[in-house]
């Protein structure tokens, strides 16, 4: 995968956010999942985590940052988002730190534009690193819950689009 692929997807999202939220352009979750899998943060494909129970994910893969109820509900139903919002450090020395914040896209009912912006911004931050350093630094520096959260935003947005969709 090209080092620019993540930034290109973030740019595409930025250019199409109105069409995505207007249900005129379908969000391709497979492309986003492929980008997330290329980060090599998770040992299994990211889509498999969305179908896990929250309890299993908490025990077997979570970085314990997402708000999970730990029950039988699926990870794909989580309302919390762990947004990648910043990176700093020294790339030549392979020392980077990502920072995160929690976002609730269901505070006043589902907010698809907000979820799309969370997705776009996370990919912009990750894409900045990939564009300079490739994919090598992600596995040791990005939290698993952040990767799952990006996939969760994509899945939730795509599912929402399918509800009386015009795409």
- Select the more confidently predicted residue: 71 or 13: 13
Closest CA to 165 of 21, 28, 47, 30: 21
The domain limits of the chain are 5-162
pLDDT one-digit tens code per residue, 68-78: 876 889 989 98
CA pair distance 103, 121, nearest whole angstrom: 12
CA 134 – CA 103 distance, rounded (Å): 28
H-assigned helices in the chain: 5-21, 29-38, 46-50, 54-60, 112-133, 138-141, 144-162
Among 123, 100, 163, 103, smallest CA distance to 33 is for 123
DSSP state letter for 21: H
Enter the pTM of the model: 0.92
Q: What is the pLDDT of residue 164?
A: 67
Q: What's the average model confidence in pLDDT over 102-124?
A: 93
Of the given ranges (41-45, 47-51, 79-83), which has the lowest mean pLDDT? Answer: 79-83
Q: Read off the pLDDT band of 35 (50, 70, 90).
A: very high
How many Å apart are CA 97 and CA 73, to the nearest integer? 31
- Residue 56: CA atoms inside 13 Å, Cβ hemisphere, count? 11
pLDDT band at 136 (very low <50, low <70, confident <90, very high): confident
Contact 37, 51 (CB under 8 A): no
Q: In this predicted model, what pLDDT tens digit does every residue of 54-67 receive, in sequence order?
A: 999 898 888 888 88
């Amino acid at each position: 995968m090209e080092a620019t692929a993540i930034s290109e997807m973030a740019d595409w999202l930025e250019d199409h956010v109105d069409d995505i939220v207007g249900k005129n352009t379908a969000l391709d979750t497979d492309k986003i999942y492929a980008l997330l899998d290329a980060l090599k943060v998770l040992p299994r494909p990211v889509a498999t985590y969305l179908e896990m129970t929250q309890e299993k994910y908490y025990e077997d893969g979570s970085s314990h940052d997402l708000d999970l109820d730990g029950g039988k509900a699926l990870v794909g139903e989580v309302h919390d988002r762990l947004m990648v919002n910043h990176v700093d450090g020294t790339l030549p020395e392979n020392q980077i730190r990502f920072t995160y914040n929690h976002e609730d896209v269901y505070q006043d009912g589902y907010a698809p534009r907000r979820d799309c912006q969370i997705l776009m911004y996370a990919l912009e931050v990750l894409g900045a690193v990939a564009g300079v350093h490739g994919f090598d630094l992600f596995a040791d520096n990005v939290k698993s819950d952040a990767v799952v959260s990006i996939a969760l935003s994509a899945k939730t947005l795509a599912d929402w689009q399918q509800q009386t969709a015009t795409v």
